[in-house]
Chains A and B, each alone.
Chain A
Amino acid sequence: MAQLEPTALDLPLVAARRGINVGRIRVPGWLALLLRNRKSRTGLLIVAFMVVVALISPLISVAHPNDFNILATRQAPSWHHLFGTTDQGSDVFSQVVVGARRSLALGALAGALATVVAAVLGIAAAYVGGIVDEIVNLLTNVFLTIPAIPLLVVASGYLKTRGMWTMIAVIALVLWAFEARILRAQALTLKNRDFILAAKASGEPTWRVVFGELMPNMISRIAAAFVLVFYIALLVDSGLEFLGLGDQSATSWGVTIYWAQVNSTVLQGEWWPFMFPSLALGLTVLGLVLVLAGIDEVSNPRLRTERTERRSRLAALLGGKAFTR
């Protein structure tokens, strides 16, 4: 479900700045750039927060997420159960916090796999050209045309087991095409630059040119690709779980929402088993989208909203203009 699509334009390359030193900590150049930009800074903080929560979840979850407690079913949020309980009496807070692990891991790994496939296929195809390029292009377009979710729905329907790795593989298989096209387009623009031609002329084998020269110069775009596929995988995976096509016995955000839906809790007015995992999901996706927007702005200075002086900020708010006077 790519509701928030990448920008239609290729990102120009970011010249990696040297790292800076904050006190005694050495911050790498790219991180410094991202932290300086307001959007990506916010996004990174959100994502970092989620990751930390996922990591320390065993410490902060009050009970085991799958604990059943017939006596405490369908309870609204209270001090005892911060996020309330499900219809089976499980603590929603624990489910959300522990579920973060699986959801984030699934999203990240599927995203990573899809990015790797997209990068290798897209960039290699762009560089090598000819029939290889035609084939990869064809493949990419086909995968983009066949609707992803219905395909995943049907494929999951055929799967007997829905373990984590199977889901990662299946999702990555469907999502790689998104970024392959964009990475290929950018690789095409780099292909005829002098440094590539020089490498080629000096006899470097193809694989070395692709992996050693081309890809390192596309790092910012590949990173952006990863962020994008990460959140799409997150959405897709939780979506599938919501449909009952994931691993229903596992703990993750989508599964919690699934059980909430299946047990008609929403229709009965119990919003908490569905609301809190949804918030977690939405917040994480928002964080990733902000990071992506930040990368965009860092690479393309025109996108940055200039910080006007305090006096004129109000004037700008009331009717900012594209042209001065």
Chain B
Amino acid sequence: MTVLEAPAGTKTLLEVRGLEVEYGNVRAVDGVNLHIGTGEILGVAGESGCGKSTVANAIMQILRPPARIVGGSIVFQGEDLTGKSQEDLRRFRWRNVSMVFQSAMNALNPVMRVGDQFVDMMQAHERISKHRAIVRAGELLELVGMDKRRVRAYPHELSGGMRQRVIIAMALALSPELVILDEPTTALDVVVQREILQEVEALKRDLGFAVLFITHDLSLLLEFADRIAIMYAGEIVETAPSATLASAPLHPYTQGLLQSFPPLTGPRVRLSGIPGAPPDLRDMPSGCRFHPRCPHCLPENAALHLRQTSERPRLRETAAGHSVACHLVDA
């Protein structure tokens, strides 16, 4: 098992150990370990279907049937979430951890005014009059750069970018310690993407929350995240500070990802992708899940090959803050 220690100087806010989530009989998340320190930005990157959104939903305890947590623990500020009562969880949600959903278009109730959706949420967590709540909603909208009169608008009257801002404002309304961004910018164009992320960064500096940033776009993480975890087929395969990951990636999958997008500066390099496709969750490869696509898994190296195809690699720390699950590194 990895040593789960927060970087020096920060307290551990959230600790996920050995998380296992199943959809019916299919295991979507198979032993995930993560930790986030206060005020830190942790990015989780991976292909579609690797389970990253499932991890986010599990942390927020909003998994829908048939998904359910079947193993592991999620410890937030020292308390294990998996043992809490329904009412405690209800109070925990949004107040301690909030989430910015993937498509803001659909995350707002179409038949309620934007302001009312703020009021709803505030009144669910504290005693506050509707009037005061609306005023606060207006202040929050201004915080994300919108006109506070928009509290009276219906979602369909706002543009996509505006709706995303509303969602962000809502996520910050109760000053949570952790904000989960689940592919927050996928549906937006590049320019708006950048604006939104810069705003989130600025807000983070002001308000001091930690961020769990989930995306398939590694380039975004390299720029915005403090630490990055790479996820593949329901497991974490590598975790490292961003700079280290960019300069010295250890796992072949990470290396493949980094080589998949061209650098804007410097000489032209050959783009190499990762051959093959992610495995079917119902039919996992034995041993290392990445081995069918790994350029370093060759039958010639018999002993290594045997390990790669039969034994699942464990996440081990190789340097300060840098963990990898790979037989090549162990060897």
Direct contact of A and B (CB under 8 A): yes
In contact, B65 and A324 (Cβ under 8 angstroms): yes
B61 at the interface (CB under 8 A from A): yes
In contact, A322 and B61 (Cβ under 8 angstroms): no
A80 at the interface (CB under 8 A from B): no
Chain A interface residues (CB < 8 Å from chain B) = 306, 321-325
Residue among A321, A322, A324 with most chain B CB within 10 A? A324
Q: How far is the CB of A76 from chain B (nearest CB, A)?
A: 51
B121 at the interface (CB under 8 A from A): no
In contact, B68 and A324 (Cβ under 8 angstroms): yes
Q: Which residues of B lie under 8 Å from residue A325 when comparing CB positions?
A: 61, 63, 68-69, 86, 89
Task: Please name 13 pairs of A and B residues whose Cβ atoms are closer than 8 Å in the assembled complex, sorted by A.
Answer: A306-B24, A306-B65, A306-B66, A321-B65, A322-B65, A323-B64, A323-B65, A324-B64, A324-B65, A324-B67, A325-B61, A325-B86, A325-B89
Q: Which residues of A lie under 8 Å from residue B69 when comparing CB positions?
A: 325
B67 (CB) vs chain A CBs: closest residue: A324
Nearest 10 CB-CB pairings of A with B:
A324-B68, A324-B63, A306-B66, A324-B65, A325-B61, A323-B64, A323-B62, A306-B65, A325-B89, A324-B64
B85 (CB) vs chain A CBs: closest residue: A325
In angstroms, Cα B24 to Cα A322, docked, is 15
Q: How far is the CB of B75 from chain A (nearest CB, A)?
A: 16
Q: Which residues of B lie under 8 Å from residue A321 when comparing CB positions?
A: 65
In angstroms, Cα B66 to Cα A325, docked, is 12
- Taking A306-B66, A325-B68 as given, write out 5 further A-B residue pairs in contact, using a Cβ cutoff of 8 Å, ordered by the A residue number: A323-B64, A323-B65, A325-B61, A325-B86, A325-B89
A312 (CB) vs chain B CBs: closest residue: B68
Q: How far is the CB of B124 from chain A (nearest CB, A)?
A: 15
Q: Which residues of B lie under 8 Å from residue A306 when comparing CB positions?
A: 24, 65-66
Q: Which residues of A lie under 8 Å from residue B62 when comparing CB positions?
A: 323
Q: How far is the CB of A318 from chain B (nearest CB, A)?
A: 14
Residue among B61, B62, B65, B89 with most chain A CB within 10 A? B65
B61 (CB) vs chain A CBs: closest residue: A325
B86 (CB) vs chain A CBs: closest residue: A325
The residues in B between 254 and 280 inclusive whose CB is less than 8 angstroms from any CB of A are none
Q: Which residues of A lie under 8 Å from residue B89 when comparing CB positions?
A: 325
B84 (CB) vs chain A CBs: closest residue: A325
Majority DSSP secondary structure for residues of B touching A:
loop
Q: Which residues of B lie under 8 Å from residue A322 when comparing CB positions?
A: 64-65
B65 (CB) vs chain A CBs: closest residue: A324
In angstroms, Cα B86 to Cα A322, docked, is 13
Q: How far is the CB of B262 from chain A (nearest CB, A)?
A: 31
In angstroms, Cα B61 to Cα A325, docked, is 7
A323 (CB) vs chain B CBs: closest residue: B64
In angstroms, Cα B67 to Cα A324, docked, is 8
Q: How far is the CB of A82 from chain B (nearest CB, A)?
A: 47
Q: How far is the CB of B154 from chain A (nearest CB, A)?
A: 22
Q: How far is the CB of B80 from chain A (nearest CB, A)?
A: 13
In angstroms, Cα B89 to Cα A324, docked, is 12
Q: Which residues of A lie under 8 Å from residue B86 when comparing CB positions?
A: 325
Q: How far is the CB of B232 from chain A (nearest CB, A)?
A: 25
Q: How far is the CB of A163 from chain B (nearest CB, A)?
A: 52
Q: How far is the CB of B20 from chain A (nearest CB, A)?
A: 14
Residue interface mask B75-86, A partner, CB < 8 A = 1: 000000000001
The residues in B between 53 and 108 inclusive whose CB is less than 8 angstroms from any CB of A are 61-69, 86, 89
A320 (CB) vs chain B CBs: closest residue: B65
In angstroms, Cα B23 to Cα A306, docked, is 11
Q: How far is the CB of B85 from chain A (nearest CB, A)?
A: 10
Q: How far is the CB of A50 from chain B (nearest CB, A)?
A: 36
Q: How far is the CB of A320 from chain B (nearest CB, A)?
A: 9
Residue interface mask B200-230, A partner, CB < 8 A = 1: 0000000000000000000000000000000
The residues in B between 1 and 33 inclusive whose CB is less than 8 angstroms from any CB of A are 24
In angstroms, Cα B64 to Cα A325, docked, is 9
In angstroms, Cα B66 to Cα A322, docked, is 10
Q: Which residues of A lie under 8 Å from residue B66 when comparing CB positions?
A: 306
Q: How far is the CB of B86 from chain A (nearest CB, A)?
A: 7
B81 (CB) vs chain A CBs: closest residue: A325
In angstroms, Cα B24 to Cα A306, docked, is 9
In angstroms, Cα B89 to Cα A306, docked, is 25
Q: How far is the CB of A46 from chain B (nearest CB, A)?
A: 30
In angstroms, Cα B89 to Cα A321, docked, is 15
In angstroms, Cα B23 to Cα A324, docked, is 12
Q: Which residues of A lie under 8 Å from residue B68 when comparing CB positions?
A: 324-325
Q: How far is the CB of A316 from chain B (nearest CB, A)?
A: 9
Q: How far is the CB of B90 from chain A (nearest CB, A)?
A: 10
Q: Which residues of A lie under 8 Å from residue B67 when comparing CB positions?
A: 324
In angstroms, Cα B65 to Cα A322, docked, is 7
Q: How far is the CB of A306 from chain B (nearest CB, A)?
A: 5
In angstroms, Cα B64 to Cα A282, docked, is 37
Q: How far is the CB of A73 from chain B (nearest CB, A)?
A: 59
Q: Which residues of B lie under 8 Å from residue A324 when comparing CB positions?
A: 63-65, 67-68
Q: Which residues of A lie under 8 Å from residue B63 when comparing CB positions?
A: 323-325
Q: How far is the CB of B96 from chain A (nearest CB, A)?
A: 16
